[in-house]
Structure 1
Amino acid sequence: MTEVLFYHLTDSTLDDALPGLVERSLARGWSVVVQTGSEERRDALDLHLWTWRDDAFIGHGTDRDPHAADQPVLLTTGTDNPNAAAIRFLVDGAEPPALDGYERAVIMFDGHDQAHVEAARRHWKTVKAAGHQATYWQQTPERGWERKA
């Protein structure tokens, strides 16, 4: 079964937290797919990952690109896995597809957005019912992560 981590953002934005997690995934040798809840969020992340730090960028593509399967990091609004990613990030309220076949899935949600919190609770129940191992991580004031469940 897939390991599913729920990351509760309380002290930073998705734009602050996601790039570092994607970098760590790439360092493990994993290809990455990031599923967004909207085309607007996908396009904003597309721009952000090129400029998120002055001294670094994350090479990536989107599901609109002709060679999506060749991307180490793919941003999508869809539920498929064209780059054979080992890890799937779900952000901005994206609905999880079947998660079998991934090493890990990460559901990131904004603790200040009640709709995202409610969606995460719903996803928790669905993930557990599917037999996946789920853990809940809350962001600390230092912007680290503390396991709560």
Structure 2
Amino acid sequence: MAEIGFYHLTRTDAHEALPVLLGRTLDSGRRAVIRCGKSEEAGALDIALWKVSDPVWLPHAATGGKYPDRQPIWITAGEDVPNGATFLFLLGATDTLTIDPFERVFDLFDGRDEVAVAAARRRWMALKAQGHTLAYWRQEAKGWTRAG
């Protein structure tokens, strides 16, 4: 079963919250797949991550990019995992999730969007019923607070 963290964004968008989480992923020696809700979002995130230098530079590629099997971070709007990632980051997730074979899942959702919050609640309930280990993180003025 996967360990799944729900990340309730309250003051930034995912493009701002992701670099720290991805930096920690790379520091742990893991690879990541970022699954976006739409291909346009994947393209925008690809561009945004190339501009990140703090906390670390984030080497990555998106669907259609070169050498997908070598990429420590892969961005997609599909379910492809060409880099053998064990960490999955969900942005704009739908109610239907494929989280196998990942050991850890990060579900980031916009707390200022009632539709996104309601969808996150439905995913929480479904994943809990499947027996996954769940954690809820709320974005605060500085950092995150775990509640559950």
Q: Is the structural similarity TM-score above 0.5? A: yes
**Deviation string, structure 1 residues 31-58 (Cα, Å, up to 9, x no partner):** 0000001111101110011102378531
How far apart are 1:66 and its partner, in Å?
Answer: 4.3
Q: Secondary structure of the equivalent of 2:89?
A: strand
Query: Match for residue 148 of structure 1?
Result: 147
Q: Distance in 2 between the 1:61 and 1:96 partners?
A: 25
Structure 1's 55 and 124: CA in aligned 2 closer, same or farther, altered over 3 A? closer
8 Å CA contact 1:36, 1:94 repeated in 2: no
Q: State the TM-score, normalizing by the size of structure 1.
A: 0.91
2:98 maps to a residue whose letter is A
In the alignment, structure 1 segments of 5+ residues that lack a partner are none
Query: Match for residue 37 of structure 1?
Result: 37
8 Å CA contact 2:9, 2:109 repeated in 1: yes
The RMSD of aligned alpha carbons is 1.7
Structure 1's 70 and 113: CA in aligned 2 closer, same or farther, altered over 3 A? same
Q: Which runs of 4+ in 1 moved over 2 A?
A: 52-57, 92-98
Query: Match for residue 6 of structure 1?
Result: 6
1:35 maps to a residue whose letter is R
Structure 1's 135 and 18: CA in aligned 2 closer, same or farther, altered over 3 A? same
How far apart are 1:129 and its partner, in Å?
Answer: 1.6
Query: Match for residue 57 of structure 1?
Result: 57
Q: Distance in 2 between the 1:90 and 1:22 partners?
A: 12
Q: Secondary structure of the equivalent of 1:123?
A: helix
1:89 aligned onto 2:89: yes
8 Å CA contact 1:61, 1:73 repeated in 2: yes
Q: Distance in 2 between the 1:97 and 1:83 partners?
A: 19
How far apart are 1:96 and its partner, in Å?
Answer: 5.5
What is the aligned length? 148
2:119 maps to a residue whose letter is A
Q: State the TM-score, normalizing by the size of structure 2.
A: 0.92
How far apart are 1:100 and its partner, in Å?
Answer: 3.0
Q: Distance in 2 between the 1:56 and 1:133 partners?
A: 29
In the alignment, structure 2 segments of 5+ residues that lack a partner are none
1:123 aligned onto 2:123: yes
